[in-house]
């Protein structure tokens, strides 16, 4: 009997240690000194990275280094090349493709509980669709975890709208056109005295690439096919006409024609040109009635003009569209392939992007969530952010190969269309080729 009892005790102990009896296995406490680099302020990140309410990461000590955003990428890449980089670093969504080979994918779960692993399905169920682009590989690998998702919205000057007797901000692009025309004042010689909307140019329009991108998406097109990957900016779609016939259209061509019309003196909605100041500054100064921007622009606008009477409305949609399409950008945390503490670093970023720590980060940063379980538009959501919270689930994004080169390509598209030297098909064919060249690098 004693011998049998001893065998049972040994087996019971082994089951506990193996975790076969849930809840009885002692949770492993991870220990490591980790270094994290980023371009967010140390003041913002300090409390965020010091959270250790999960006993599993209580032994992790993280040192954060803030680097100015303008210098961040070059300093980080040089440090990684020299083998002196951090364990964890922050990147923008536009840097995923360019630096993918420097990122250590998260470990995949094997069906057992793990603090340092995540499945592709869990990632999809946790984070909104716009973050899947780039971060979630075709083979199910997860390259990093998003901190937030910021979306484009319509900022409007309430005083200008009231003076023009326009009771509400436009919800559709048709309404946007009418509002822009109504609030723009053009002199007899074609000078813009008052601007109804800041759109149509490149150098003096904040976020012009993002605006053009979402217009392409709303028109039924795409820019990059991530699975291949290859450019599809010049790919046509079939569209049913009012007379019942079907024809092939190029969504990018439609989107760009609409965008550039605001800087075309021959159009009724002419409201912007190269001579105007930066669109954000113009909005702050009351020189344009409508500005398209992100939630991150709110504190900038308030700091520059605390007395500006402005509102924020959802990003306009196509009239009659069955599905809302918005546009989102995000920053994310990733683990370096060169880290000597990969498992611990992955456990740490999984923890600080989990619900409660991430909620604290969003509260301090004033940015909307990328996590599905944090998307609420109730009284607890800051009033000025409710529009952005309401757009996270309908937002799209695309795989940007190289932000600097994309800027040059899109700038060339807009300026070439405005000059009318080349046909739209020639311009977009050239852009398509340049995008494919970037994707092959």
Secondary structure of the chain as H, E, C letters? CHHHHHHHHHHHHHHHHHCCCCCCCCCCCCEEEEEEEECCCHHHHHHHHCCCCCHHHCEEEEEEEECCHHHHHHHHHHHHHHCCCCCEEEEEHHHHHHHHHHEECCECCCCCCCCCECCHHHHHHHECHHHHHHHECCCCCECCEECCCEECEEEEEHHHHHHCCCCCCCCEHHHHHHHHHHHCEECCCCCEEEECCCCCCCCCCCCHHHHHHHHHHHCCCCCEECCCCEECCCCCEEEECCCCCEEEECHHHHHHHHHHHCCCCCCCCCCCCCCCCCHHHHHHCCCECEEEECCCHHHHHHHHCCCCCEEEECCCECCCCCCCCEEEECEEEEEECCCCCHHHHHHHHHHHCCHHHHHHHHHHHCCCCCEHHHCCCCCCCCHHHHHHHCCCCCEECCCCCCHHHHHHHHHHHHHHHHHCCCCHHHHHHHHHHHHHHHHHC
pLDDT of amino acid 16: 46
Q: What is the pLDDT of residue 102?
A: 97
Q: How confident is the model at residue 110 (pLDDT cuts 50, 70, 90)?
A: low
pLDDT at 231 over 60: yes
Task: Between 322 and 5, name the one with better pLDDT.
Answer: 322
pLDDT of residue 245: 84
User: Looking at the predicted structure, is the pLDDT value of residue 441 above 90?
Assistant: no
- Residue 7, pLDDT score: 54
Q: Distance between CA 316 and CA 260 in Å, rounded?
A: 17
Backbone dihedral region of 190: left (phi > 0), alpha (psi from -120 to 50 degrees) or beta?
Answer: left
**Do 32 and 347 contact (CB within 8 A), yes or no?**
no
pLDDT at 1: 46
The count of other CB atoms within 10 Å of the CB of residue 37 is 22
- Lowest mean pLDDT across 153-162, 198-207, 354-363, 388-397: 354-363
Residues β-bridged to residue 62: 34
Q: Could you give the angle at the alpha carbon of 404 between the alpha carbons of 276 and 293, nearest 5°? A: 45
Say if CB 223 and CB 134 are below 8 A apart: no
Q: Which domains does the chain have, with CATH numbers?
A: 27-149+330-396 (3.40.190.10), 155-328+401-440 (3.40.190.10)
Give the mean model confidence (pLDDT) for residues 25-42.
Answer: 81
Q: What is the model's pLDDT at position 10?
A: 45
The CB-side HSE value for 98 (13 A sphere, CA atoms) comes to 15
Mean of all residue pLDDT scores within the chain: 91
What pLDDT does residue 4 have?
52
- Higher model confidence: residue 104 or residue 3? 104
How confident is residue 111, by pLDDT bands cut at 50, 70 and 90?
low
pLDDT at 52: 59
Could you give the percent of the chain with pLDDT greater than 70? 91
Q: What is the pLDDT of residue 24?
A: 43
Q: How far is CA 290 from the centre of its chain?
A: 22
Report the pLDDT value the prediction gives residue 87, as an integer from 0 to 100.
Answer: 98
What mean pLDDT do residues 138-155 have? 97
Q: Let me know if 105 is exposed, middle or buried by CB neighbors in 10 A (0-12, 13-18, 19+).
A: buried
Higher per-residue pLDDT: 129 or 7 = 129
Residue 238 clears pLDDT 70, i.e. is over it: yes
For residues 157-171, average pLDDT? 98
Rounded to the nearest angstrom, the gap between the alpha carbon of residue 223 and the centroid of all alpha carbons in its chain is: 15
- Tell me the pTM: 0.91
Mean pLDDT of the 265-287 span: 97
Whole-angstrom Cα distance, residue 118 to residue 107? 6
pLDDT of residue 350: 94
| Segment 54-80, tens digit of pLDDT | 767 778 899 999 999 999 999 999 999
Q: What is the pLDDT of residue 239?
A: 81
Contact present, 391 and 326 (Cβ < 8 Å): yes
* Residue 293, beta-bridge partner list: 153
* Spatial contact of 25 and 19, defined as CB atoms under 8 Å apart: yes
The pLDDT of residue 242: 78
pLDDT over 80 (residue 153): yes
| Residues belonging to the chain | 441
pLDDT of residue 393: 97
295, 151 Cβ separation under 8 angstroms? yes
How distant, in Å, are the alpha carbons of 193, 200, 269, 353 from that of 264? 15, 8, 8, 45
Check residues 286 and 113 and name the one with the higher pLDDT.
286
Count the neighbouring beta carbons within 10 Å of the beta carbon of residue 313. Answer: 15
pLDDT given for residue 23 in this prediction: 46
For residue 333, pLDDT beyond 90: yes
Q: What are the pLDDT digits (tens) for 400-439?
A: 999 999 999 999 999 999 999 899 999 999 999 999 999 9
Least confident residue range of 28-32, 173-177, 276-280, 310-314? 28-32
């Amino acid at each position: 009997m004693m011998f049998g009892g001893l065998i049972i005790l040994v087996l019971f102990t082994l089951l506990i240690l193996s975790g076969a009896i849930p809840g009885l296995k002692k949770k492993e406490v991870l220990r490591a000194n980790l270094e994290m680099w980023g371009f967010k302020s140390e003041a913002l990140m300090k409390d965020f990275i010091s959270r250790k309410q999960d006993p599993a990461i209580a032994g992790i000590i993280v040192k954060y280094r803030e680097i100015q955003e303008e210098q961040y990428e070059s300093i980080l890449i040089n440090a990684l090349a020299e083998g002196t980089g951090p364990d964890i670093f922050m990147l923008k969504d536009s840097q995923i493709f360019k630096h993918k080979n420097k990122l250590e994918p998260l470990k995949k779960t094997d069906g057992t509980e793990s603090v340092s692993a995540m499945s592709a399905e869990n990632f999809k169920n946790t984070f909104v669709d716009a973050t899947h682009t780039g971060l979630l590989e075709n083979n199910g690998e997860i390259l990093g975890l998003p901190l937030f998702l910021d979306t484009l919205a319509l900022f409007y000057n309430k005083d200008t709208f009231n003076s023009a007797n326009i009771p509400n901000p436009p919800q559709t692009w048709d309404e946007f056109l009418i509002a822009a025309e109504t609030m723009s004042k053009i002199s007899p010689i074609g000078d813009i005295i008052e601007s109804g909307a800041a759109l149509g140019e490149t150098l003096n329009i904040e976020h012009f690439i993002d605006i053009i991108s979402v217009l392409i998406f709303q028109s039924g097109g795409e820019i990059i096919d991530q699975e291949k990957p290859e450019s599809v900016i010049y790919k046509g779609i079939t569209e049913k006409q009012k007379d019942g016939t079907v024809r092939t259209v190029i969504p990018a061509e439609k989107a760009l024609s609409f965008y550039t019309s605001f800087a075309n003196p021959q159009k009724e909605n002419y409201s912007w040109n190269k001579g105007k100041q930066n669109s954000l500054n113009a909005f702050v100064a009351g020189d344009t009635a409508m500005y398209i921007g992100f939630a991150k622009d709110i504190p900038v606008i308030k700091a520059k003009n605390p007395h500006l009477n402005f509102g924020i409305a959802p990003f306009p949609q196509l009239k009659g569209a069955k599905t809302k399409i918005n546009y989102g950008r995000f920053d994310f945390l990733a683990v370096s392939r060169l880290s000597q503490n990969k498992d611990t670093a992955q456990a740490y970023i999984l923890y600080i992007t989990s619900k409660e720590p991430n909620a604290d980060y969003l509260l301090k940063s004033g940015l909307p969530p990328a996590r599905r379980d944090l998307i609420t538009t109730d009284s607890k959501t800051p009033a000025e952010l409710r529009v952005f919270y309401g757009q996270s689930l309908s937002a799209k994004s695309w795989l940007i190969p190289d932000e600097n080169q994309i800027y040059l390509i899109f700038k060339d598209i807009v300026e070439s269309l405005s000059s009318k030297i080349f046909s739209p098909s020639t311009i977009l064919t050239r852009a398509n080729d340049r995008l494919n060249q970037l994707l092959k690098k």
